[in-house]
Chains A and B, each alone.
Chain A
Amino acid sequence: MTSTQAVDEIVRSEYEHGFVTEIESDTLPPGLDEGVVRAISARKGEPEFMTEWRLKAYRHWLTMPTPHWAAVHYPPIDYQAISYFSAPKRPEDAPKSLDEIDPALLETYEKLGIPIEEQKALAGIAVDAVFDSVSVATTFRESLAEAGVIFCAISEAVHDHPELIQKYLGSVVPHTDNYYAGLNAAVFSDGTFVYVPEGVRCPMELSTYFRINARNTGQFERTLIIAERGSYVSYLEGCTAPQRDENQLHAAVVELIAMDDAEIKYSTVQNWYPGDERGRGGIYNFVTKRGDCRGARSKISWTQVETGSAITWKYPSCILRGDDSVGEFYSVAVTKGRQQADTGTKMIHLGRNTRSTIVSKGISAGEGQQTYRGLVRISQRAAGARNHTQCDSLLIGDRCSANTIPYIEVKHPSANLEHEATTSKISEDQLFYCRSRGLTAEDAVSMIVNGFCKEVFNELPMEFAVEAQKLLSISLEGAVG
């Protein structure tokens, strides 16, 4: 087999997690207007302030143009063709324990290799599984409550902790921020809320698995994590989705807030349906993720492994407001087939002696297109700010592409910035070399790719790192044979 054939084979390997679970959904008809926004709010039984908040966002969204600057291509999205709410039926008597959960749903998790029961036991992870839009399983909440940690669906937080929601929701990513953030604010369905009180080190890694499962339903997650003074929390987010025909818009918003001496570690492994060989039917992943290092000496660290979606448009960012605060971004992004990704980060240095690190590893195979887009901004009062950026691209085959677009704005003379970028290729020579030492082409590719990503995997929590490596191998299976 020639390596080109081999490359083609891996690239063609079908999405493993492609299956649809049959569950009756309570879905709003497609379309969006004020009535729909009110209906969403009403179905979730939200208080007045929340309905108003959504409507304000919706009215602003109507005035915003769709963004076109990212290096991705897709037909115009018809926002009136999307259904904005889908919840598993019987939302008012939501399950209290695993026994009450629809067996078909549990089966889905089994297929994905993430049985909730085992996970509870094995990893000590509290799992707040998001199935479509409403959280259906929340575990370990009691032991978290003992530590004073609030870990719940954001729709619950709206009811149970309205003061926190009113204070923090939209304070990092306002609805005016960008088109998709505006849309999300108007129609967000559910998501995760985490509150870690002062001085508390969250006793376990928090984890939510997302899964998009109803046809033609936009998924608008909203995540809000607040770490009070001197606290620590590590949050893991992982996603898979069933195979489907229509393109699906996913416009999530994630807001992180770290007070003085607090630390938030946010890790993502994303494996949404990327579309078929010709790029049909994949997820559009237009996400706004931003962390606010509000307090002095606070730290926010983003780690992401992105292998799915037809189009990814995502820039997990840090606003380094507090003096001596630290922002980190570690990323592995894989594009193959017709996948497109425009991803990177923004590090906004506002405080003194703020530091940021960016390590971005892009892997492109097949006809994958990938752009790293990063902004490092040092403001006028950010004396002594430092940034180190490293962007590496790895190409597999000769039909893919990778671009690196760094933006750097420095307004303080004491700033210290370093930027390194490389582009390399898995060559036939490398493959042959490995094979002539007894390794199969697949092992060889996996080895080369994992070597390339090592710095990022090192940042992931252990169990996630293993999963990420596996995912990467699966993603590139047959990609280089």
Chain B
Amino acid sequence: MLSVNGLKAKVGETEILKGLDLEVKPGEIHAIMGPNGSGKSTFSHVLSGRDGYEVTGGSVLFEGQDLLDMEPEERAQAGVFLAFQYPVELPGVNNTYFLKAALNSIRKARGESELDAVTFMRLIKEKLKILHLDDSLLKRAVNSGFSGGEKKRNEIFQMALLEPKLAILDETDSGLDIDALRVVADGVNALRSPERSMIVVTHYQRLLDYIEPDHVHVLAKGRIIRSGGKELALELEEKGYGWVLEQEQAA
């Protein structure tokens, strides 16, 4: 589904990603962990096509297509979804209207018919139920005046509606208390499917207590320096990132 080979990227003059490799198969959940400044967020942003990053080497193929050659909206239309670490407020833009426009834009790009208002409302109510969210969310402006927890839940709600093939969760656990974390994780788990892959980017192991990954990767200094199963996350939690880094240096 996603194949990242030797990806190098810089911000300004600083090289952040220095040859990153990652292979994600359909249905898999990959956790990417790493200390601050290791390049986790850069990786999420490069995958989703944000401005301000210059790719200097390597390739990213998404279902055989060159992802790096696509505009952000084309990536979304192809089925890539980024759950933002800091979801953006859109004052005055009604949430329902926004979601309908987004969904129809994606459907249109895929050659599917646009959903009418009734069908859309039925769909949206169904998705709200999955995430145990309140109807009132639909009447509000996108993320405007939302609490941190509400914003993160809204991200997962959008993901439920847009049904991406590949979801990238960028530090979705940051700023969440334990209850909100559980709600968000339950939502994510409800969306697991054999066709849907996820990349969970996180600093802490605790999110992985709720969203169980198939693979765990440690990102440091712009490269994946170690990969393993979910037990790697536990080991990291216990011994800290210093431990892998030392091993890496010794090797």
Chain A contact residues, CB within 8 Å of chain B: 1-3, 424, 427-430, 432-441, 443, 447-448, 451-452, 454
Segment at the A interface, from B99-107, B127-135, B174-182, B199-207:
B99-107
Evaluate contact between A436 and B98: CB separation under 8 angstroms. no
| Residues 47-89 of B contacting A (Cβ, < 8 Å) | 48-51, 71-73, 75-77, 81-82, 84, 87-89
Residues in A with CB closer than 8 Å to B90 are 430, 433-434, 447-448, 451
Residues in A with CB closer than 8 Å to B92 are 448, 451-452, 454
Q: Is B94 an interface residue (CB 8 A)?
A: yes
Q: Can you pick out 21 interface pairs between chain A and chain B where the beta carbons lie within 8 Å of each other?
A: A2-B51, A424-B91, A430-B90, A434-B102, A436-B73, A436-B84, A437-B98, A437-B162, A438-B76, A438-B77, A438-B105, A438-B109, A439-B101, A440-B73, A440-B105, A441-B73, A443-B101, A447-B93, A447-B97, A448-B93, A451-B93
Q: Is B197 an interface residue (CB 8 A)?
A: no
Residues in B with CB closer than 8 Å to A434 are 90, 98, 102
Q: How far is the CA of A438 from the CA of B81 in the complex (A)?
A: 9
Residues in A with CB closer than 8 Å to B88 are 427, 429-430, 432-433
Evaluate contact between A438 and B51: CB separation under 8 angstroms. no
Residues in B with CB closer than 8 Å to A439 are 73, 101-102, 105
Evaluate contact between B98 and A447: CB separation under 8 angstroms. yes
Residues in A with CB closer than 8 Å to B84 are 433, 436
Tell me how far the C-beta of A61 lies from the nearest C-beta in chain B, rounded to whole angstroms. Answer: 44
Residues in A with CB closer than 8 Å to B81 are 436
Of B71, B102, B103, most buried by chain A (CB within 10 Å of CB) is: B102
Q: How far is the CA of A451 from the CA of B142 in the complex (A)?
A: 10
Residues in B with CB closer than 8 Å to A448 are 90, 92-93
Q: Is B141 an interface residue (CB 8 A)?
A: yes
Residue interface bits B96-123, CB-to-A below 8 A is 1, else 0 = 0110011101100100000000000000
Tell me how far the C-beta of B32 lies from the nearest C-beta in chain A, rounded to whole angstroms. Answer: 18
Q: How far is the CA of A335 from the CA of B101 in the complex (A)?
A: 27
Evaluate contact between A437 and B76: CB separation under 8 angstroms. yes
Chain A facing B: main interface SS: helix
User: What count of chain B residues pass the 8 Å CB interface test?
Assistant: 32
Given A438-B73, A443-B101, CB of A432 within 8 Å of CB of B50 = yes
Q: Which of A424, A432, A447, A452 has a CB less than 8 Å from the CB of B101?
A: A447
Residues in A with CB closer than 8 Å to B97 are 447
Q: How far is the CA of A454 from the CA of B97 in the complex (A)?
A: 13
Residues in A with CB closer than 8 Å to B89 are 430
Q: Is B158 an interface residue (CB 8 A)?
A: yes
Q: How far is the CA of A45 from the CA of B174 in the complex (A)?
A: 78
Evaluate contact between B91 and A443: CB separation under 8 angstroms. no
Q: Which of A1, A429, A440, A452 has a CB less than 8 Å from the CB of B91?
A: A452
Given A429-B88, A447-B98, CB of A437 within 8 Å of CB of B93 = no
Given A2-B51, A430-B88, CB of A435 within 8 Å of CB of B93 = no
Q: How far is the CA of A2 from the CA of B105 in the complex (A)?
A: 21
Residues in A with CB closer than 8 Å to B101 are 439, 443, 447
Top 5 A-B residue pairs of the complex, sorted by shortest distance between their CB atoms? A451-B92, A451-B93, A438-B76, A433-B88, A435-B72
- 11 more contacts with CB within 8 A, not counting A439-B102, A452-B91, are A424-B91, A427-B88, A430-B88, A432-B50, A432-B88, A435-B73, A438-B105, A440-B105, A441-B73, A447-B97, A451-B94
Closest chain B residue to A454, Cβ basis: B92
Evaluate contact between A433 and B87: CB separation under 8 angstroms. yes
Closest chain A residue to B103, Cβ basis: A438
Residues in B with CB closer than 8 Å to A424 are 91
Closest chain A residue to B50, Cβ basis: A432
Tell me how far the C-beta of A331 lies from the nearest C-beta in chain B, rounded to whole angstroms. Answer: 16
Tell me how far the C-beta of B110 lies from the nearest C-beta in chain A, rounded to whole angstroms. Answer: 10
Residues in B with CB closer than 8 Å to A451 are 90-94, 141
| Residues 3-49 of B contacting A (Cβ, < 8 Å) | 48-49
Residues in A with CB closer than 8 Å to B141 are 451
Evaluate contact between A435 and B76: CB separation under 8 angstroms. yes
Residues in A with CB closer than 8 Å to B102 are 434, 437-439
Closest chain A residue to B161, Cβ basis: A437
Residues in A with CB closer than 8 Å to B77 are 438
Residues in B with CB closer than 8 Å to A2 are 51
Residues in A with CB closer than 8 Å to B109 are 438
Residues in A with CB closer than 8 Å to B94 are 451
Q: How far is the CA of A429 from the CA of B98 in the complex (A)?
A: 16
Evaluate contact between B51 and A428: CB separation under 8 angstroms. yes
Q: How far is the CA of A443 from the CA of B97 in the complex (A)?
A: 12
Residues in B with CB closer than 8 Å to A427 are 88
Closest chain B residue to A5, Cβ basis: B51
Evaluate contact between B51 and A432: CB separation under 8 angstroms. yes
Q: Which of B50, B91, B106 has a CB less than 8 Å from the CB of A438?
A: B106
Of A429, A437, A447, most buried by chain B (CB within 10 Å of CB) is: A437
Q: How far is the CA of A439 from the CA of B104 in the complex (A)?
A: 9
Residues in A with CB closer than 8 Å to B87 are 433
Residue interface bits B151-176, CB-to-A below 8 A is 1, else 0 = 00000001000100000000000000
Q: How far is the CA of A434 from the CA of B158 in the complex (A)?
A: 12
Q: How far is the CA of A440 from the CA of B73 in the complex (A)?
A: 6
Q: How far is the CA of A358 from the CA of B29 in the complex (A)?
A: 53
Closest chain B residue to A437, Cβ basis: B102
Tell me how far the C-beta of B208 lies from the nearest C-beta in chain A, rounded to whole angstroms. Answer: 24
Residues in A with CB closer than 8 Å to B106 are 438
Q: Which of A429, A436, A441, A443 has a CB less than 8 Å from the CB of B48?
A: A436
Residues in A with CB closer than 8 Å to B50 are 432, 436
Q: How far is the CA of A429 from the CA of B50 in the complex (A)?
A: 9
Closest chain B residue to A361, Cβ basis: B92
Closest chain B residue to A446, Cβ basis: B101
Evaluate contact between A437 and B91: CB separation under 8 angstroms. no
Tell me how far the C-beta of B74 lies from the nearest C-beta in chain A, rounded to whole angstroms. Answer: 9
Evaluate contact between A435 and B162: CB separation under 8 angstroms. no
Tell me how far the C-beta of A281 lies from the nearest C-beta in chain B, rounded to whole angstroms. Answer: 34
Residues in B with CB closer than 8 Å to A435 are 49, 71-73, 76
Closest chain A residue to B77, Cβ basis: A438
Q: How far is the CA of A440 from the CA of B98 in the complex (A)?
A: 12
Tell me how far the C-beta of A67 lies from the nearest C-beta in chain B, rounded to whole angstroms. Answer: 35
Q: How far is the CA of A392 from the CA of B48 in the complex (A)?
A: 32
Closest chain B residue to A429, Cβ basis: B88
Residues in B with CB closer than 8 Å to A432 are 50-51, 72, 88
Closest chain A residue to B97, Cβ basis: A447
Q: How far is the CA of A433 from the CA of B72 in the complex (A)?
A: 9
Closest chain A residue to B80, Cβ basis: A436
Q: How far is the CA of A352 from the CA of B239 in the complex (A)?
A: 76
